[in-house]
Chains A and B, each alone.
Chain A
Amino acid sequence: MKLGTFFAFLAGAALCFCAVGQAQAADLPPIKVGVYLPLTGQNAFGGQLELEGVRLAQKEMPQVLNRPVELVIVDNKSDKVEAANAVKRLVERDKVVALIGTYGSSLAMAGAEVAEKAMIPGVGTSCTNPLVTQGKKYYFRACFIDPYQGAAAATYAYDTLGFRKAAVLMDMTNDYAVGLSSFFSRSFKKLGGTVLATLKYSSGDQDFTAQLTELIAKKPDIVFMPAYFAEGAIIMKQARELGATFRLMGADAMDNPDTLKLGGKAAEGFLHTTFPYDPTMSGMSAEAKRFTDAWKAAYPDKETNVNGALGYNTYFLIVDAIRRANSAEPKAIAKALAETKDLPTALGKLSINASHDAEMPVGIIEYKNGKRVYVGEVTPK
């Protein structure tokens, strides 16, 4: 190295040092948190929203234990291999102490595998497949798993609506539907209700008249059908055409603007579960309000949304764990994460359960007078 270059380098380094020293009150090194999300590719839409939520949270709470929190952001390109590489890079090169990510269960599974081996705690944002955290010591998620909604639907039907007789109509070839249905039945029975029948169909079926006629004959108060919105809309229409008087209830796969468009008048009175956040919700918690206001200030041209809230929550979940652990050691953070209980968040009180999934209230949507209305939350029993 030439002498001149060497001096230039020294001067530069000194300058940097001063700048850092001035900007940060804390003289301790930053705590590095890795973020891997799909910022390009097919899942980019959700990934971007979640990143915006994470950034919002970091702006709100940039320090913990008197040390600044530094986000190291890597794009996993909506690709499983890239997701694994991203986590490897964050762990080995950037030496992060915790990970945030990701949108998309298959991406999270690839990332979680690497994190588990490296023994670095990670928190998934919106990966709802049970396999993401299954059998893992270091992986968690800030959202609930799909079947959890089944229990919430049962609680709402039994407690809030006062129904005692239920039935289930499900796509037996779809994991999501089978999982939700069995949780629904189990919870509904545990609460004291009766499940009169479980009728099945296969993906791609368009004729549900036989199953619906059977259900009508059994006279349930409510039929739980965790279908996708397109077939769900057909089920609603056929049920009304056959003169069904029972209520129908679905889960978040029905949460699509098209539900109303396709269902038309038959959608009236339809219920479904969803994440416990909606810009129109009444009685917003202080945390939800803070998130809504912060989001509106930072991204005035974008609607507040659940993915943003999940990203926002994930950051706070990790920071809270670091604070409680009083350490930035990965192992201590993981231990604290597992002990999270009733943390107030933008999506209600959040606890981490034994399988490392978040437990929080579940939102309920009802279609009233041709409109989608957020009617409240329910905590599954």
Chain B
Amino acid sequence: MSLDIFLQHFFNALTLGSLYALIAIGYTMVYGILRLINFAHGDILMVGAYFVFFGTFAFGWPWGVSALLAVAGASVLGIVVEKAAYRPLRDAPRISALISAIAVSFFIESLAVVVFTGQPRPVLQPEWLVSEWQLGGVRILPLTAFVPAMTMALVVILLYIVYHTKPGLAMRAISKDIETTRLLGVKVDNIIALTFGIGSALAAASGIMWALRYPQVHPYMGIMPGLKAFIAAVFGGIGSIQGAVIGGVTLGFVEIMTVAFMPDLSGYRDAFAFVLLVLVLLFKPTGLLGESMEEKI
């Protein structure tokens, strides 16, 4: 394999891995605070991508404006979902909340099929993101750099919120003990709503990136990315933001490099990813960075 080809694979992997990482941090954040696996995460990703589609195609807004409105719209949706489907179950056994999350996921998907129809639709890619850069024998699009950069920026913002702001402090407190936090005068419901708002905004942001890279939207587009990102989050240690980033990027590299080094086995790349997950969990049941409770937000 020549260096050019290897570098091309490297950039492909970095982009895919960053996408997984971005989705995974949304999963991990909600889980870290509520111990709830929000299965609707992938579907909110889809809704975010659709918002951009409608913003640009139906209303003719510029891509940037549509993207911002989509992120805002998705966080509102996340807060509504939390109020309607998770809050009433806060004192119920955890399994009930999990089932409720699955129900929300199916509900959003079915609703999307009814409202948006099942037909895949093309997504607008802003010109400046798809003009080509030629670096030696490697071709990359600005998009290839844009996705990892956005992921890093969002991770930094998220870490800042969680570790350096008052609501972030409250989130970390809730993750340890909801009742005590409430006794200390924190408005727990508001903080949890905020958590879902941020989580959904992240989902929408990743949906928008996903639709830039794979320029199509359809009602089931969130399922596979959601599942893969969930694996990435578990792999990195669910609850840990840094772990989710490492998990996502690793998964992206495993998937791409499997094809790069073993083209004959290209159809089995998911299997390789899962085998890796199983191995990591065998030796570190809490994932790569999921060992101590302190690290969980």
Binding site for B on A (CB under 8 A): 172-173, 197, 199-202, 204-207, 209-211, 213-214, 216-217, 230, 233-234, 237-238, 241-243, 258, 261-262, 264
Contact B270 A214 (CB under 8 A): no
Instruction: Fill in one digit per residue for B223-235: 1 if any A CB lies within 8 Å of its CB, else 0.
Output: 1110000000000
8 contacts between A and B (CB under 8 A): A199-B263, A199-B266, A204-B223, A210-B13, A210-B255, A210-B266, A230-B216, A258-B120
CB-CB nearest in chain B for A241: B141
Q: Which residues of B contact A214 (CB under 8 A)?
A: 5, 259-260, 263, 266
Contact B260 A210 (CB under 8 A): yes
CB-CB nearest in chain B for A209: B12
Q: Which residues of A contact B130 (CB under 8 A)?
A: 241
In the complex the two chains form, what is the Cα distance from A72 to B260 in whole Å? 59
Q: Which residues of A contact B255 (CB under 8 A)?
A: 207, 210
Contact B8 A201 (CB under 8 A): no
Q: Which residues of B contact A243 (CB under 8 A)?
A: 132, 139
In the complex the two chains form, what is the Cα distance from A209 to B16 in whole Å? 9
Contact A207 B216 (CB under 8 A): no
- For the residues of B in contact with A, the DSSP-based class is helix
Q: Which residues of B contact A217 (CB under 8 A)?
A: 1-2, 5
Q: Which of B12, B13, B216, B270 contacts A233 (CB 8 A)?
A: B216
A228 to chain B, nearest CB (A): 10
Contact B216 A197 (CB under 8 A): no
The 4 closest A-B pairs by CB, nearest first: A200-B267, A210-B259, A172-B267, A209-B12
Q: Which residues of B contact A205 (CB under 8 A)?
A: 224
Contact A197 B224 (CB under 8 A): no
In the complex the two chains form, what is the Cα distance from A201 to B258 in whole Å? 12
Contact A202 B263 (CB under 8 A): no
A315 to chain B, nearest CB (A): 34
B57 to chain A, nearest CB (A): 11
Q: Which of A197, A202, A213 contacts B12 (CB 8 A)?
A: A213
Contact B122 A261 (CB under 8 A): yes
In the complex the two chains form, what is the Cα distance from A204 to B227 in whole Å? 12
Contact B260 A213 (CB under 8 A): yes
Contact A199 B259 (CB under 8 A): yes
In the complex the two chains form, what is the Cα distance from A202 to B141 in whole Å? 25
CB-CB nearest in chain B for A243: B139
Q: Which residues of A contact B221 (CB under 8 A)?
A: 206
Contact B256 A209 (CB under 8 A): yes
Contact A242 B8 (CB under 8 A): yes
Q: Which residues of A contact B119 (CB under 8 A)?
A: 258
In the complex the two chains form, what is the Cα distance from A205 to B258 in whole Å? 15
In the complex the two chains form, what is the Cα distance from A213 to B138 in whole Å? 10
Contact A202/B267 with A213-B12, A213-B260, A217-B5 known, Cβ cut-off 8 Å? yes
Contact B266 A201 (CB under 8 A): yes
A171 to chain B, nearest CB (A): 8
In the complex the two chains form, what is the Cα distance from A158 to B270 in whole Å? 34
